Structure 1
């Protein structure tokens, strides 16, 4: 809107009534006044901040002074503001693009285990993270030493129980968590796990030496 076309929005009675609030006056002045006028009257900034700083009576005075001095925004000033907004928008788009381009894609860690299926199970019944799995297993070191098993024979066999735990939740070594999520019910597999996904540099004193690669024969009995 050119300065010559600006007309008073409210009469004296209207602007002093309760129907017109401080924010209404501020918005009108900011939309139509020249930047120099706004700067002199300290009307540049957020509407809520200006509303806190001025009483309504003072805003009415500034409103009237705007028309008395005809300090309206010129056509050139409007064009400059539009250009500034356009430029800022384009710069923001460029910045966003650069930020997106600089974010590296997350690299998926390669598996630290190898699985060899000894007996095929039901591929339609794979466990999900948080499911309780029932597992029979035997664990060996590279030299063939059995360091742990829950498989028993003879008279004690009838009292044997499969190991139960919630898979994928860190209850066991990572090699087990990852491998068991690929096994179906009744599948039996040999799983060779590298130290990084087993017991690492610490090992287990008196049982598993540091940095040991472990081999497990595992059978998934059930999923709950």
Structure 2
């Protein structure tokens, strides 16, 4: 360990008490010259900002005096400790392998769309929007299996179908297709089985297994 003669006192006792000698200056001196064991014992080992925050000037003055009384200056042991800490930290660092770039597979749409009447080209139906739709569903042989469009006396009391689009409330072909439409647009959606009712079909609605469906839909409300 270094001797006291190797480190000169920058301040006298009176200068230490003076307001002109701030605690930050004393703390800096201690961290530069005191051994880690000494600093650890006085709870002054750490960042200068943190140490000056938790310790008052009287504590720094006391430690300053004890440093010279105990001759607890930095020595070879501190250098070995520093090397040990660096080695330990290096061992703890885990080198993360460079991620392998994976191409995102984009699923091809399972429907086609034919615009029958242009909408406002501004008010798009977005996921989570409450949409209002008039529709007629047919098989590919033009057999109508469902519609909410009424005629005659029933036309006055008929209401469009309302649901939150893009949330799985309807078949995927509708969820995807309607999000390409704008208010008052009318379109024909031809939907493949995978995005309709699949291998099971929907017997109660007279939709056979693996059926491709054709819907004429009109988007009359977006909220």
**TM bin (shorter chain):** 0.5 to 0.7
Shift of 1:121: 0.5
Shift of 1:205: 5.1
Residues 1:122 and 1:206: Cα distance change in structure 2 (over 3 Å): closer
**Partner of residue 148, structure 2:** 150
Residue by residue over 1:19-62, the C-alpha shift from the partner in whole angstroms, topping out at 9 and shown as x without a partner, is 96xx997776445434465467675457879x99x999877654
Residues 1:160 and 1:66: Cα distance change in structure 2 (over 3 Å): same
**Which stretches in structure 2 are left out of the alignment for 5+ residues?**
1-5
CA distance in 2, matches of 1:4, 1:205: 95
Shift of 1:163: 1.7
- Checking the alignment, whether the CA contact within 8 Å between 2:198 and 2:211 is kept in structure 1 is yes
CA distance in 1, matches of 2:121, 2:185: 11
**Partner of residue 188, structure 1:** 186
Number of residues paired by the alignment? 203
- Checking the alignment, whether the CA contact within 8 Å between 1:167 and 1:181 is kept in structure 2 is yes
RMSD: 4.8
The normalised TM-score by structure 1 is: 0.59
Residue by residue over 1:54-76, the C-alpha shift from the partner in whole angstroms, topping out at 9 and shown as x without a partner, is 999877654323344261489xx
**Partner of residue 71, structure 1:** 73
Shift of 1:166: 3.2
The normalised TM-score by structure 2 is: 0.59
Tell me if 1:7 matches 2:10. yes
Within-5 A mapping of 1:107-118:
107=104, 109-118=106-115
CA distance in 2, matches of 1:9, 1:198: 90
CA distance in 1, matches of 2:135, 2:102: 37
CA distance in 1, matches of 2:190, 2:152: 28
CA distance in 1, matches of 2:163, 2:12: 74
CA distance in 2, matches of 1:115, 1:38: 75
Residues 1:118 and 1:55: Cα distance change in structure 2 (over 3 Å): closer
